[in-house]
Amino acid sequence: MVKMMEKKYITEKEFQLIPVTQVVRDFVAESGVQNGVVFVITSHTTTGITVNENLDCLYADIEETLERLIPTNYPYAHAHFLPSYGATGGNAPGHLKSLLCGNHAVLPIKDGVIQCGFAQDIYLAEFDGPQVRKIFIQVQGE
C-alpha cells in the first residue's frame, strides 16, 4: 500500500526549523500501514528535511554553523543577473545550505508507528524565507 499527502507551510524567517514530526506521526497512523517506511520530502531547492534533537540551543548552533560554512555575504556566482528569471539571483546561500541538509528523511514504520530515537524529531529547514513551502509525506508498506 502507498499513501501520500502534501502539507503547506508559511515560513516566517530566512532561517527556520519547523517541526513536522507530529504531522508525519498522524499521517502514518491514518494510513493504516503497520510495517513499512515513511518518506518526508521537500519540493524546494532552498529548503531541507532533517532529523535532529528539539533544543533551542541546538537550533542556534545549526544556524551559526551553516552561516560559518556558507556565509550570506560572499561573492557567489549565482549572485548575478539570471535572464531565465529576469532578476538577480540572491539566494545562493539557501541553495548551498539545502545541499548540505538534504531534501528528505526516511524512517521505518513498525506496528503502525514511526520509529524515531528518543530525541529525534523531523524538521522542514527553511534557508531562504519567508516563503510558502510544501512537503510531501509518503507512506509505503503493509
- φ, ψ for residue 10 (rounded to 5)? -110, 110
What residue type is 98 in one-letter code? S
CB-based contact 9:113 (threshold 8 Å): no
CA dist., res. 77 & res. 58, Å (int): 31
The DSSP bridge partners found for residue 136 are 6, 41
The DSSP bridge partners found for residue 99 are none
pTM of the model: 0.92
User: Nearest Cα to 138, choosing from 48, 6, 32, 30?
Assistant: 6
What residue type is 7 in one-letter code? K
CATH superfamily, domain at 1-73+86-139 = YjbQ-like (2.60.120.460)
Domain ranges of the chain: 1-73+86-139
User: Nearest Cα to 125, choosing from 7, 23, 5, 19?
Assistant: 19
Residue 48 grid coordinates: 531541507
* pLDDT attached to residue 81: 61
CB-based contact 18:9 (threshold 8 Å): yes
Helices 56-69 and 92-101 pack at an angle, to 10 degrees, of: 120
Q: How many CB atoms lie within 10 A of CB 112?
A: 14
Instruction: Give, for all 142 residues of the chain, the pLDDT tens digit.
Output: 999 999 999 999 999 999 999 999 999 999 999 999 999 999 999 999 999 999 999 999 999 999 999 999 899 888 766 677 666 667 999 999 999 999 999 999 999 999 999 999 999 999 999 999 999 999 999 9
